[in-house]
Structure 1
Amino acid sequence: MWGLAEHLAGLQLDELRVANWQRSNEGVKPSKQSKRPTPITRPGTKAKRPDKNSPERVARRHAAKRRAAERRTAIARGEIT
Structure 2
Amino acid sequence: MESLHASFKKEEVYQWACKDYHEANSAQFSYIEGFYNSRRIISADGYLTPDKKEQLVS
Task: Name the TM-score class by shorter chain.
Answer: 0.3 to 0.5
Q: TM-score if structure 1 supplies the norm length?
A: 0.27
Q: TM-score if structure 2 supplies the norm length?
A: 0.32
Larger Rg: 1
Bigger relative contact order (CA 8 A; separation at least 6): 1
